Amino acid sequence: MSADAGILEVVDGRPLVDGTDVLDLAQRIPTPFFLYSARRLRWNVESVRNAFTRRHIDTDVLYASKACSMMWLLRHVLASGIDVEVNSGGELWKALKAGFRPDQIVFNGAAKTVPEVREALRVGIRALMVDSLFELERVAAVAAELRKPATVALRVDIDVPTQTHPGMATTHGGKFGVDLAQAVDGYRFAAAHEWLEPRGLHVHLGSQITTTDPYVRGIEAALDLVAEVEAACGITLEFLDTGGGFPVPFKPAEGAVVDPGDYFRAPFAIDEYAAAICGVLERRRPDLRLLIEPGRFIAASAAVLVTRVENKKVKYVRDARGGLLDEERWVTVDAGYNTLLEHCLYHWYYPSIVAGRPDEEAPAPIRVAGPLCDAGDVFVGDDEAGCRSLPSGTTAGDIVLFSQVGAYGLEMMTPCNCRPRAAVYAVEDGVVRRVRREETYADMIAHDEGWEPRRSG
Ligand SMILES: Cc1ncc(COP(=O)(O)O)c(C=O)c1O
């Protein structure tokens, strides 16, 4: 299996996921729906684990469950033998429910509540990654109240710029982490506190980091900080957590040319990230355990979104005097940002194919829109005009498959415009089964209260 291919294979014009014909499936199952591959999930876990452990044996892989915390997926991640990172009380609850042991769980999060900290300490998770000096005092207070020591690592903004999407960059400014200038003070406080056990440092740089260079600079800076903390506080840190961020190729890499600002292309393989990160660690601090928290890399390529064209039209573009300038072809599919929020929130590009139309059919520039009552619900195009290059015969009833959609999708679905959230299916050992049912209209009012008319008399 190749890292670039995702899970879709087109054989004789038929789209297959692990041998399952998706067109056949779409005849039987109402669209839109997600289709996950258990095989791909396992492959992604294996490739990241092997890449790192063969270079730095003391590496722990923790799946970042914010990427997708559907129970089926968590169970598969657990079965593949890795640990988990959570960033809310809800994710902690789901991880425990899925069967992870508390000592397999670390807890990040930009605003942990007292009840969340209390629950994390009560169950005895492996470590809390602390986001500010204020939060460190909060964790200390809860630990003292429970009389349970809290294992902590500071999440530090290690001040290394990245060139990913601005919404995904988490160092060199922004809301995350303790400022580098305050980090030593934080460790001094923790080292002196009866109920805090500072054991590590956390430096997640961001998501979809398309070159290895920020990791090298980030880890060099992190190891400088580790040395400073150890000297200043008289402690020895046990682990460095470099977070996640390993990218997925939403667009094919173009030869050897690397433009780190083009965050849809991912020219380096996971092996190259492992070589860069472990290289610095092995050279400077081979004794430190390495924790990594990949989310997108594990989940994104494991799913496709199956949608159907429900509407089509031609719109005419005219000049001020009504003269015809151009024609635009549009198709509207049955999933928009209610199903794939990031296509709108971040103008994210998800590759698509029209299923069942022969490869040789001439491509035409077509705009693809979602169904929502919002002019912004239009998928990012292949060209600058915003068009996708689709088979010229694309028409109503056709199935459009979006790939690389397995991460940061399900979690963000909404019933916008009262369109129920989509169902999720999975291919497992050649068998397709539903792993999350679609929402019903009744689900959409299940939480509404006090709206039914009172009976008189
Ligand atoms: C602390 C932390 N760890 C891990 C991740 C996962 O990142 P990715 O999905 O890019 O691997 C994130 C993403 O936001 C994060 O904030």
Q: What is the DSSP string of 420-448?
A: PPPEEEEEETTEEEEEEPPP-HHHHHTT-
| Per-residue tens of pLDDT for the chain, all 457 residues | 554 557 999 888 899 999 999 999 999 999 999 999 999 999 999 999 999 999 999 999 999 999 999 999 999 999 999 999 999 999 999 999 999 999 999 999 999 999 999 999 999 999 999 999 999 999 999 999 999 999 999 999 998 988 888 888 888 888 999 999 999 999 999 999 999 999 999 999 999 999 999 999 999 999 999 999 999 999 999 999 999 999 999 998 877 667 778 889 998 999 999 999 999 999 999 999 999 999 999 999 999 999 999 999 999 999 999 999 999 999 999 999 999 999 999 999 999 999 988 766 789 999 999 999 999 999 999 999 999 999 999 999 999 999 999 999 999 999 999 999 999 999 999 999 999 999 999 999 999 999 988 877 6
State whether the beta carbon of 48 lies less than 6 angstroms from ligand 1: no
Residue whose CB lies within 8 A of the most ligand 1 atoms, among 66, 263, 348, for a mutation test: 66
The span from the CA of 138 to the CA of 131, in Å, is: 11
Q: What is the CATH number of the domain that holds 418?
A: 2.40.37.10
Type of residue numbered 435: V
170/306 same-domain check: no
Domain enclosing residue 388, as ranges: 8-35+301-445
- Report whether residue 295 contacts ligand 1, using a CB cutoff of 6 Å: yes
Same structural domain for residues 215 and 67?
yes
Q: Which residues pair with 431 in a beta bridge?
A: 428
CATH number at residue 161: 3.20.20.10
> Are both 26 and 71 inside the same structural domain?
no
Length of the chain in terms of residues written: 457
- Please give the biggest Cα pair distance in the chain: 82
Number of domains comprising the chain = 2
In a domain, 3, yes or no: no
**Candidates 68, 373, 387, 418; catalytic one:** 373
Cβ pair 280, 222 in contact under 8 A = no
Q: Is the CB of 245 under 6 A from ligand 1?
A: yes
- In a shared domain, residues 49 and 117: yes
Q: Give domain status of residue 2, yes or no.
A: no
Q: Is the CB of 202 under 6 A from ligand 1?
A: no
Question: 239 φ, ψ to 5°?
Answer: -140, 155
Closest residue CA from atom 12 of ligand 1:
244
Examine the domain organization and report whether 69 and 30 are in the same domain: no
Summarised one tens digit per residue, pLDDT across range 85-131 is 999 999 999 999 999 999 999 999 999 999 999 999 999 999 999 99
In the structure encoding, which two tokens stand for residue 158, read together? 């290690």
What does the alpha-carbon distance between residue 309 and residue 84 come to, in Å, rounded to a whole number?
Answer: 38
* 50, amino acid identity: N
Q: What local confidence, expressed as pLDDT, does residue 13 receive?
A: 83
**How far, in Å, from the CA of 299 to the mean position of ligand 1?**
12
Q: Is the pTM of this model over 0.75?
A: yes
End of a domain among 276, 299, 322? 299
Residue 190 domain-assigned (yes or no): yes
> Which residues neighbour 101 within 8 Å (Cβ) at sequence distance 6 or greater?
none
Task: Read off the pLDDT of residues 306-317 as tens digits, 9 standing for 90 and up.
Answer: 999 999 999 999
Positive/negative CA dihedral, 185, 191, 192, 195? positive
- Do 369 and 235 share a structural domain? no
- 243 and 137 together in one domain: yes
Could you say which of 299, 330, 364 is where a domain stops?
299
Alpha-carbon span 207 to 205, nearest angstrom? 7
Place of tokens 């600079």: 217
* 387 is a catalytic site residue: no
Element (H, E) at 34: strand 33-37
The atom of ligand 1 lying closest to the CA of 296 is 9
Q: Is there a domain that residue 456 lies in?
A: no
Between CA 182 and CA 274 the distance in angstroms is 29
For residues 399 and 360, what is the distance between their CA atoms, to the nearest angstrom?
17
How does DSSP classify residue 384? Answer: T
Q: Is 263 in the pocket of ligand 1 (CB under 6 A)?
A: no
Looking at ligand 1, which atom is closest to the CA of residue 67?
9
Pick from 299, 316, 344: which residue ends a domain? Answer: 299
